[in-house]
Structure 1
Amino acid sequence: MRIAFVTMTTAHHVDHWYARRARAVAERLAARGHKVTVVCTQWWGGDHAAFDFEGVSYRRVTADHSPSVFVAKLPFVLNSVRPEVVHVATDPDLAVPAAKAAGRLRRVPVVAEWWDPPDRETGRSWRRHWAARSPNTLLVPSETVATTARECGADTGAVEVVPDSVDMASIRDAPVDERADLVYARRLDEHANVEEFLLALAELRRREWRAAIIGDGPARADAERMARDLRIDDRVEFLDDLAPAEQVPILKGAHVFAQTATRAPFATNLLRALACGCVGVVEYQADSAAHELVETDPRGSLVTSPQELAEEIVAATETERWTVNEDYAPYDHDAVLDRYVDRYRKLVTDYGLF
């Protein structure tokens, strides 16, 4: 199948969750034998319009980051790619109706990926509304994001949840690193809210435990200072931003994973921890979908404060330690990729009937 991904900003431009997810899906599709072209802003050197990398062909729409020019040129580039299905990111918003216009000309369906809840102030703008209503299918990573997409005008029947994924085979085969009983993992930015985890640990200072905080970012220095102020820094190890393969042994050796971030369209690090057998304790946040992963997990729990987080950490000591949880096999890379492919094929088949 010929699939065109449309994303003005790729993982080669920025280290954002949505960009990493798009790159991973594109490369896994290419590894299965599909012909994948990413239509984007140029990130490679030289003046050539196309560049192949990791089995994926990248096609230039613009050389510079200019949303208006990108949207204007997009239909012409898509027409030259000749895809069977177009998969477009909702950034910029107007890229979706532009891709839809190109799809109509070539009689191919358009799938849009709605990555994140919209800003409260601009969520109902006409651009967001147009982006939500234009595609044949709107893919979202969680029910939390699905709600915001519907609020922006998406048809309920067009919205489909496709979660992020983990490598279950690598989790099963990985060694166990027992350096920490309790783990937090996320980029340490303004949404990390890691101080809630640290406050919970301070509540437990009279108990025996070791904790690891995996991640880096602008909030790291403040978090390290807070650990010192709470006098728990001798038992909290701050690690760098580790790749998934480096995280997994630590997660397999841990007992509890704490999720406190205020914003998460999908809590991938939590998913990885749960698949590694951790007990998940999630602090509920209005703009985070993390609670969706533990609501149906008998080993997990949902809290609303550092005090409750501390109590659930203590309660988790009565839960058996696991190093893998097969209940999360449906989130394996291959299983989730099958959902993308099935959606593409159904859309192509249905589109050909009209």
Structure 2
Amino acid sequence: MLRSARWLLLLACLLSALAGRAAPAESFDTWLRPALPAADGFEPLPTSERAKPGSEVRALARGRVVSVGEGGHAVTLEHLFHENHELRRVRSEYTGLEGVTRRVGELVERGQELGRVGSGGSRGVTLSEGDSPLSAAEARRFTAARGRLPLPAEEPVLLLISHEANELRMYERGREVLRAEVGFGQAEGRKRVRGDNRTPQGMYFVVEKYRGEFPGPYGAFFGGHWMRLNYPNTWDADWGVAEGLLTPEVRDRIARAWEARRQTSSSTKLGGGIGLHGWAGEWSLAQSGGRLSWGCIVLHTPDIAALYGRVPPGTMVVLF
């Protein structure tokens, strides 16, 4: 009886452990394919509340109708969009309308008609994140900065890398084609400055590839393969400006290069030289805890060899 109880306890612990390991893997699909189709960009916010009565009011971005005001005088949409490594949520509310025909739960596309301006000629468009409405100035800056947004599921090749799960997944046009175990920098946490031995979180692009022998005393630790990412990106640079580590001019140069999927500056205090590579020999999570590099993403040598030829320059890589 005691032996049976012990076996049941061991089984329960095993199932609990397996359940715990499965949870991080869910984040891949949740991030890449959310329940609501992601927006590909926002239209500029109207500059005036006055408009010609009967003129069309159109959706700022792809979204879902979450409420329709009594009498069809208002409608609210919910939008999801990818920004850096985050999946963000915002709502847009349109008031002063008439003739709203949209239904709760209906999906609408960017620029699709929602209704018409009421006879009073006054309309309102409000953006909110969580429970906090943005001011008119904040909303205009928000939409102006997001005229075009990425759609990772439509990328020809996409690499998603989970810090929590120590796992890389490769997708082609949204279809998963490969999984691999990965290790990270020797220090925990998100990379911020040069020499902190941490691995970044964010959206980057492959800008350089090399396969063969690497010179120098640490050359063997590349495992014969190297795929460089354009760290730092725009959001890393924004943080650097806020911390007084970068000038706005350097930030803007980084942002332009990142958007063009080119190499960004690696000579600032934020550091650089981040990429994917193999290792000098076999390694395991059990022995290393996945803490191996000075900030790069480390794969087992057979995995980086299998991945290398399928990842062209310009490939999007998201570490979350």
| TM-score range for the pair, normalised by the shorter chain length | under 0.3
Question: TM-score, structure 2 length as denominator?
Answer: 0.26
Q: Which has the higher contact order (CA 8 A, sep 6+)?
A: 2
More helix by percentage? 1
Question: TM-score, structure 1 length as denominator?
Answer: 0.24
